[in-house]
């Protein structure tokens, strides 16, 4: 092994960090640990038998194409089906506006690759999705955190930040927003806030990146129109994925954008992996064509809704005074805030010893704040383990409170 490895590494690699969530998950391999840590769909929802039949069907009828290289843009049938779904939601897009990616994480990586130079400003929420923070950090972004209120990222803080940066001759490359059942906070941004941010972005000529992997997992409340459709001028890039609403193992996501922007994504993807697996794309397309996906999604929503309610009931019953949490209308997560003097990172190791795990909230804050917060996933474990895990977590918190 060469002795000067560190000296020859690229600047980008030196800026990369291990995923805090993936590292924490290594500590939760013990089967006795009840894990609220990962953003994992429930395995018992996966339609294994139906997919098994479709795999055979695809191999029999389209094997020559399914097992061959595909186009960078993605399988035409799958893209048509996704476009149809989005147009029913008011998007007004065509095939020239969509590219399939290897899950939405690749979309985030390509986004950073084509827009970010080292030192460029990017506006993100406090808190924000760790995968986005990691992708932007890898390309040297200088992330500026925007405070939340009960409606998500504060539009007044966005404009204040833009004014300050403009006075210094600086302009962010984009505003990164997770508007629906935000990861990790679980908050859904209402339409009035979305419109405020769109107007601010237009005023300062800044792109908006709308990362929306959970939008279809709604339990209650009113569906909110997407930033992409509210904008209508090509200033919003929308990222989607099947990882949370279908099967994460397929690693199928997509980017929806103005055709001039999408062209840059296509070029960048060509140098990354040429194409996303045509095989899994054709399986997914056939599953949707058969009308199975809509039925599957309804069952998944019902299951997650019940699990969320069980968790909220457990929180109300067991959590001590001074602990607060969000009540998401959908998605996979709720966010817990402990008293300010408490450190969730220290609490984590004690929780693992008590056979329960969560994700420390600080990792979702680009400025290192959020030490007294934690993200809790309610979709993965069954309802009985959910109850037991919440009780254990409450006991650990109580033991650490002054």
3-state secondary structure 268-321: HHHCCCCCCCHHHHHHHHHHHHCCHHHHHHHHHHHHHHHHHHHHHHHHHHHCCC
pLDDT at res. 23: 61
pLDDT in tens, 109-150: 999 999 999 999 999 999 999 999 999 999 999 999 999 999
Q: Is the pLDDT of residue 19 over 70?
A: no
- Supply angle C-alpha 248, 41, 275, rounded to 5: 10
Are 90 and 284 spatial neighbours (Cβ–Cβ below 8 Å)?
no
Q: What whole-number percentage of the chain has pLDDT above 90? A: 90
Q: What's the average model confidence in pLDDT over 78-97?
A: 97
Q: What are the φ/ψ torsions at residue 104 (nearest 5 degrees)? A: -70, -20
pLDDT at res. 21: 59
**Closest C-alpha to 209, from 258, 157, 278, 274:** 258
pLDDT at res. 2: 76
Are 129 and 364 spatial neighbours (Cβ–Cβ below 8 Å)?
yes
| CA dihedral over 102, 107, 109, 113, signed as positive or negative | positive
Q: Is the pLDDT of residue 25 over 70?
A: no
- Confidence band, pLDDT 50/70/90 cuts, at residue 4: confident
Q: What's the average model confidence in pLDDT over 71-76?
A: 98
**DSSP conformation letters of 93-104:** --GGGEEEEEHH
Q: Is the pLDDT of residue 28 over 60?
A: no
Are 242 and 36 spatial neighbours (Cβ–Cβ below 8 Å)?
no
Q: Look up tokens 């009931």; give the residue.
A: 313
**Closest C-alpha to 159, from 143, 173, 177, 175:** 175
- In whole angstroms, how far apart are CA 88 and each of 83, 165, 223? 9, 38, 13
- Confidence band, pLDDT 50/70/90 cuts, at residue 27: low
Q: Which residues sit opposite 253 in a β-bridge?
A: 101, 241
Longest dimension (CA), the chain: 66
Are 35 and 380 spatial neighbours (Cβ–Cβ below 8 Å)?
yes
- Confidence band, pLDDT 50/70/90 cuts, at residue 311: very high
Are 336 and 351 spatial neighbours (Cβ–Cβ below 8 Å)?
no
Query: Could you give the angle at which helices 130-138 and 103-115 cross, rounded to 10 degrees?
Result: 40
pLDDT in tens, 198-239: 999 999 999 999 999 999 999 999 999 999 999 999 999 999
In the chain, the domains with their CATH numbers are 5-47+294-400 (3.90.1150.10), 64-290 (3.40.640.10)
Q: How far is CA 209 from the centre of its chain?
A: 12
Q: Is the pLDDT of residue 43 over 60?
A: yes
**DSSP conformation letters of 308-369:** HHHHHHHHHHHPPTT-EE---SBSSEEEEE--TT--HHHHHHHHHHTTEE-EEGGGG-TTS-
pLDDT at res. 26: 65
- Confidence band, pLDDT 50/70/90 cuts, at residue 12: confident
pLDDT in tens, 161-199: 999 999 999 999 999 999 999 999 999 999 999 999 999
pLDDT at res. 50: 96
Compare 160 and 29 and report the one with higher pLDDT: 160
pLDDT at res. 157: 98
- In whole angstroms, how far apart are CA 41 and each of 178, 245, 304, 379? 18, 8, 9, 6
Compare 44 and 172 and report the one with higher pLDDT: 172
Query: Rounded distance, CA 325 to CA 344, Å?
Result: 14
Query: Could you give the angle at which helices 383-400 and 292-318 cross, rounded to 10 degrees?
Result: 30
- Residue 377 corresponds to which tokens in the numbers above? 């996933």
Are 352 and 332 spatial neighbours (Cβ–Cβ below 8 Å)?
no
pLDDT at res. 9: 77
Q: What whole-number percentage of the chain has pLDDT above 70? A: 96
Q: Look up tokens 């979309």; give the residue.
A: 107
Mean pLDDT of the chain: 95
- Residue 379 corresponds to which tokens in the numbers above? 């979709």
Q: What's the average model confidence in pLDDT over 1-25?
A: 71
């Amino acid at each position: 092994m060469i002795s000067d490895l560190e000296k020859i590494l690229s600047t980008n690699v030196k800026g990369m960090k291990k995923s805090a969530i993936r590292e924490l998950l290594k500590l939760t391999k013990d089967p006795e640990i009840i894990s609220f840590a990962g953003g994992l769909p429930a395995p018992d929802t996966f339609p294994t038998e139906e997919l098994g039949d479709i795999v055979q069907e695809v191999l029999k009828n389209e094997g020559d194409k399914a097992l061959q290289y595909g186009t960078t843009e993605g399988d035409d049938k799958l893209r048509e089906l996704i476009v149809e779904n989005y147009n029913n939601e008011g998007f007004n897009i065509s095939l020239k506006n969509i590219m399939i990616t290897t899950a939405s994480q690749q979309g985030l990586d390509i986004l950073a690759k084509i827009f970010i130079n080292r030192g460029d400003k990017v506006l993100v929420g406090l808190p924000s999705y760790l995968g986005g923070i990691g992708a932007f950090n890898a390309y040297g972004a200088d992330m500026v955190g925007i405070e939340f209120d009960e409606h998500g990222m504060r539009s007044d803080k966005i404009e204040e930040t833009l004014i300050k940066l403009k006075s210094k001759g600086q302009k962010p490359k984009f505003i990164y927003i997770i508007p629906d059942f935000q990861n990790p906070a679980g908050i859904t941004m209402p339409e009035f806030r979305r419109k405020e941010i769109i107007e601010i972005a237009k005023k300062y000529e800044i792109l908006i990146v709308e990362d929306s992997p959970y939008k279809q997992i709604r339990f209650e409340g009113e569906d909110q129109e997407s930033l992409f459709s509210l904008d209508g001028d090509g200033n919003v890039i929308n990222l989607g994925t099947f990882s949370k609403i279908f099967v994460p193992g397929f690693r199928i996501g997509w980017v929806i954008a103005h055709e001039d922007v999408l062209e840059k994504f296509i070029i960048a993807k060509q140098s990354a992996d040429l194409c996303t697996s045509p095989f899994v794309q054709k399986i997914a397309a056939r599953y949707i064509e058969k009308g199975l996906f809509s039925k599957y999604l309804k069952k998944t929503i019902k299951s997650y809704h019940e699990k969320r309610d069980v968790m909220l009931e457990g929180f109300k019953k067991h959590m001590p005074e001074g602990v607060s949490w969000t009540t998401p209308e959908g998605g996979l997560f709720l966010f817990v805030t402990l008293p300010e003097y408490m450190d969730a990172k220290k609490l984590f190791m004690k929780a693992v010893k008590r056979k329960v795990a969560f994700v420390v909230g600080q990792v979702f804050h680009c400025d290192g704040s959020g030490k007294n917060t934690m993200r809790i996933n309610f979709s993965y474990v069954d309802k009985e383990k959910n109850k037991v895990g919440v009780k254990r977590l409450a006991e650990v918190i109580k033991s650490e409170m002054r």
